[in-house]
Amino acid sequence: MKIQLILLVITCIIAEVFSSCALILDEHEEECAKTNKLSQDKVMELYNIRYSSADAPIINSYVECVWEKWGFLNGNVINYDAIRKNNKISLVNLAGICDDSPYGPANAFIESVNQCEREAPSHVRAETIRSCIAQRFRERSSPSQPVAK
């Protein structure tokens, strides 16, 4: 029994080490972060917490800058097809999503983008959609939460 417990603890430690999530900014993100006076750590923090109204214009500007450079935003129009077809930008960079969860359907990202597109008001900001995609993805990846279709 003791050996099984020790093996379980070791397995958990190894899983935690290999499932850590880090945001590493690409050249577009670095440029936009510099323009908005954001560090890599601050971007990840803003992606994953409820930020203050004082931080809202900064994260809005940052996401719009990056999404324009990635081709996800043209003026004020979000290109949902480009987001869905993306295979170069990690979920961490795109939405602050650490995709190391063993749960959820394989197409959780696409379904999340589709749901956010369907529910978006006509004049929506890129940060609102980024946040929506992250939230819907997390809901779909959680083993205990039902997801609206």
pTM: 0.77
Express each pLDDT in 8-43 by its tens digit.
Answer: 445 444 444 444 578 889 999 999 999 999 999 999
**Which residues, at least 6 apart from 141, have a Cβ–Cβ distance to it below 8 Å?**
99, 101, 103, 104, 108
Backbone angles phi, psi at 107, to 5 degrees: -100, 30
Between 68 and 17, the higher pLDDT residue: 68
Express each pLDDT in 87-142 by its tens digit.
Answer: 888 888 888 887 665 555 668 899 999 999 999 988 899 999 999 999 999 898 87
